[in-house]
Amino acid sequence: MQKILVTGGMGYIGSHTVVELIQAGFDPIIIDDLSNSSVEVLDGIEKITGTRPQFFNFNLCNDVLLGNFFQNNTDVRTVVHFAASKAVGESIKRPLLYYKNNLLSLLLLLEQLAAYEDSKILFSSSCTVYGQPDQLPVTEQSAFKQAESPYGSTKQICEGILRDACKANPMLKAISLRYFNPVGAHESIQIGELPQGTPNNLVPLMAQVAAGIQPELKVFGSDYNTRDGSAIRDYIHVVDLAQAHVKAVHRLLGNKQRNNYEFFNIGTGNGISVLELIHEFERVNKLKLNYKIVERRPGDVESIYADTSFAKKELGWQAKLGVEDMVRSTWKWQQSLSSKK
Ligand code: UFG
Query: Which pLDDT band, with edges at 50, 70 and 90, does 338 fall under?
Result: confident
What's the CA gap between 186 and 238, in Å, rounded? 8
Share of the chain above pLDDT 90, in %: 95
Cβ atoms of 148 and 142 within 8 Å: the answer is no
pLDDT of residue 197: 87
* pLDDT of 195 over the 90 cut: no
* pLDDT of 341 over the 90 cut: no
Q: Report how far ligand 1's centroid is from the alpha carbon of 11 (Å).
A: 18
| Residue 276 domain flag | no
Please state the domain count of the chain. 1
pTM of the model as a whole: 0.97
Which of 180, 289, 185, 285 has the alpha carbon at shortest distance from 236?
A: 180
* pLDDT of 91 over the 80 cut: yes
> How do residues 197-256 score in pLDDT, each as one tens digit?
899 999 999 999 999 999 999 999 999 999 999 999 999 999 999 999 999 999 999 999
Average pLDDT of the chain? 97
Q: Look at ligand 1, atom 25, and give the residue with the nearest C-alpha.
A: 181
Q: Look at ligand 1, atom 4, and give the residue with the nearest C-alpha.
A: 202
| Residue 313 domain flag | yes
Q: Report how far ligand 1's centroid is from the alpha carbon of 201 (Å).
A: 5
pLDDT of residue 3: 98
SS (H, E, C) the chain: CCEEEEECCCCHHHHHHHHHHHHCCCEEEEECCCCCCCCCHHHHHHHHHCCCCEEECCCCCCHHHHHHHHHHCCCCCEEEECCCCCCHHHHHHCHHHHHHHHHHHHHHHHHHHCCCCCCEEEEEEEHHHHCCCCCCCECCCCCCCCCCCHHHHHHHHHHHHHHHHHHHCCCCEEEEEEECEEECCCCCCCCCCCCCCCCCCHHHHHHHHHCCCCCCEEEECCCCCCCCCCCEECEEEHHHHHHHHHHHHHHHHCCCCCCCEEEEEECCCCCEEHHHHHHHHHHHHCCCCCEEEECCCCCCCCECCECCHHHHHHHCCCCCCCHHHHHHHHHHHHHHHHHHC
| Residue 65 domain flag | yes
> How do residues 269-297 score in pLDDT, each as one tens digit?
999 999 999 999 999 999 999 999 999 99
Ligand 1: which residues within 6 Å by Cβ?
86, 88, 126, 128, 179, 181, 200-202, 205, 218-220, 231, 233, 274, 297, 300
CATH of the domain at 156: 3.40.50.720
Q: Report how far ligand 1's centroid is from the alpha carbon of 149 (Å).
A: 13
| Residue 83 domain flag | yes
Query: Which pLDDT band, with edges at 50, 70 and 90, does 163 fall under?
Result: very high
pLDDT of residue 339: 86
| Residue 96 domain flag | yes
| Residue 292 domain flag | no
Query: Which pLDDT band, with edges at 50, 70 and 90, does 82 fall under?
Result: very high
> How do residues 20-65 score in pLDDT, each as one tens digit?
999 999 999 999 999 999 999 999 999 999 999 999 999 999 999 9
Per the rule left: phi > 0, alpha: psi between -120 and 50, beta: everything else, 312 is alpha
Query: Which pLDDT band, with edges at 50, 70 and 90, does 299 fall under?
Result: confident
99: domain range? 3-184+236-268+307-319
pLDDT of residue 229: 98
pLDDT of residue 148: 86
Ligand 1 atom at minimum distance from 203 CA: 20
Ligand 1 atom at minimum distance from 219 CA: 7
| Residue 200 domain flag | no
| Residue 118 domain flag | yes
Cβ atoms of 10 and 41 within 8 Å: the answer is yes
What's the CA gap between 36 and 16, in Å, rounded? 15
> Which residues are annotated as catalytic?
151
pLDDT of residue 135: 95
Query: Which pLDDT band, with edges at 50, 70 and 90, does 340 fall under?
Result: confident
Ligand 1 atom at minimum distance from 182 CA: 31
